[in-house]
Amino acid sequence: MKAEYDFSKGARGKFYHPNAVFSFPVYLEPDVNDFMSKLAEEQDLDIQKLVNEWLRVNIKLLQSVQQSH
């Protein structure tokens, strides 16, 4: 690494995109990953699609329980 860097010719905000959407990674623990990977393979689905479907089902379940209280 250099002791100093010259940013005098740099352009502020050159790579800034105000409408950029970022997804954050979700790391599954090994046992969950193994289970979901096997299930996704059996159902011929991408694991990301399968996990999203499972999460949506749980979200709907939680919302219905919350609405009933």
- String of DSSP letters for 39-69: HHHHTT--HHHHHHHHHHHHHHHHHHHHHT-
Tally of domains within the chain: 1
pLDDT in tens, 11-58: 999 999 999 999 889 999 999 999 999 999 999 999 999 999 999 999
Residue 68 has what pLDDT?
Answer: 85
CA dihedral 35, 61, 26, 30 (to 10 degrees): -20
Q: Does residue 34 sit within a domain?
A: yes
- Report yes or no on 38 lying in a domain: yes
* Matching residue, tokens 């352009």: 11
pLDDT at residue number 48: 95
Q: Is residue 13 part of a domain?
A: no
Domain limits for position 34? 30-67
